[in-house]
Amino acid sequence: MSEKIPVTVLTGYLGAGKTTLLNRILTEDHGKKFAVIVNEFGETGIDGDLVVGADEEVFEMNNGCICCTVRGDLIRILDGLMKRKGKFDAIIVETTGLADPAPVAQTFFVDQDVGDATKLDAVVTVTDAKWLTERLKDAPEAKNQIAFADVIILNKVDLVSAEELAEVEAAIRAINPYAKLHKTTRCELPIDQLLDRNAFDLDRILDIEPDFLESGHHHHHSDEVRSMSFTIPGDVDPDKFMPWINDISQAQGPNILRSKGILAFKDEPRRFVFQGVHMILDGDLQRDWKADETRNSRLVFIGRDLDESELRKGFLACAA
């Protein structure tokens, strides 16, 4: 099997600067060739490279999993692109401003042909410092895009005061403290901060500490999308944990946007690492715990209307 082609998903609310970022990626002198899948072909003014128009056709897999939606057009386009291996080094998928990133991400886990040929590298979300606070109030899509992101570009920071910037940053962090956050004007940032992130690679989920150390106390009353993390200082019992996480994913999958975990299983020298998108869980025993690492078990959920105390109770009951 040859090397899998990395795919970067670019999301962001209307007007946040997605096209600016895309053009920056494509024109910068990095020696890479991209295939770009855009949602409104011919209207974005993107040239060079291999540009393909997509129609964002989302469908529900007939596999009994109610939130298992995938992008049918993406499966077809990637199948076509894979016949032209060697013409490009990486793929960028641009979504519309109103798109839910979940079906795009799930496509890479659900479709075997897509998963064999490509790997989801990261979800990059472009946000507008001036308008995000407003959008978070009136647009659930904007919230989803923040919640889903591995990399967040807080753009147009030159248009806001330091106070407004702090406010919007706090709003982002309340939803997703784990993404890498870059503050930019005109999406100016080194491209290597966007590409080759390996955010979905189980081997690279080395650390799920928040990128942002929460200082003080945040109030989340108005934010139904937020993150939570739980830690068991020690081992968990896989015979308790596996059924529990499966049940939670089935029952609350529609509300869980992303999940990640690094766990110490009783009598198991290797770390168990998993990640999830809605109901879809992808997990494996990975490398050995190192001598200088504490065998802690940690779990992160980012989701909507999740019952934190219930989840905490459930997880803590999995302790070995």
Contact footprint for another protein (CB under 8 A): 1-2, 41-42, 52-53, 55, 57, 59, 61-63, 72-73, 75-77, 80, 83-85, 111-113
CB of 52 or CB of 228, closer to another protein: 52
Backbone angles phi, psi at 251, to 5 degrees: -75, -40
The nearest distance, CB 110 to another protein, in angstroms, is 9
The nearest distance, CB 12 to another protein, in angstroms, is 25
The nearest distance, CB 44 to another protein, in angstroms, is 14
CB of 35 or CB of 256, closer to another protein: 35
CB of 75 or CB of 175, closer to another protein: 75
CB of 83 or CB of 290, closer to another protein: 83
CB of 37 or CB of 277, closer to another protein: 37
How many H-runs (helices) and E-runs (strands) does the chain carry? 9, 14
The nearest distance, CB 287 to another protein, in angstroms, is 28
CB of 58 or CB of 189, closer to another protein: 58
Of 152, 71, 76, 82, residue with least CA distance to 104: 71
Burial readout 5-19 (b: 16 or more C-beta within 10 A, e: otherwise): bbbbbbbbbeebbbb
**CA 23, 212, 317 angle in degrees (round to 5)?**
120
* H helix runs in the chain, sequence order: 18-27, 72-82, 101-110, 112-117, 132-138, 140-148, 162-175, 238-252, 308-316
Question: In this structure, are strands 5-12 and 90-94 parallel, antiparallel, or unpaired?
Answer: parallel
The nearest distance, CB 307 to another protein, in angstroms, is 32
Contact call for residues 279 and 259 (beta carbons, < 8 A): no
CA 70/CA 319 separation, integer angstroms: 35
Name residues whose C-beta falls within 8 Å of residue 223's C-beta, 6 or more positions apart in sequence: 136, 143, 171, 174, 175
CA 145/CA 126 separation, integer angstroms: 9
The nearest distance, CB 47 to another protein, in angstroms, is 13
Secondary structure (DSSP) of 211-276: SS---S----TT-SEEEEEEEESS-B-HHHHHHHHHHHHHHHTTTEEEEEEEEEBTT-SEEEEEEE
CB of 113 or CB of 203, closer to another protein: 113
The nearest distance, CB 85 to another protein, in angstroms, is 7
CA 181/CA 11 separation, integer angstroms: 14
120 three-class SS: strand
The nearest distance, CB 72 to another protein, in angstroms, is 6
CB of 57 or CB of 284, closer to another protein: 57
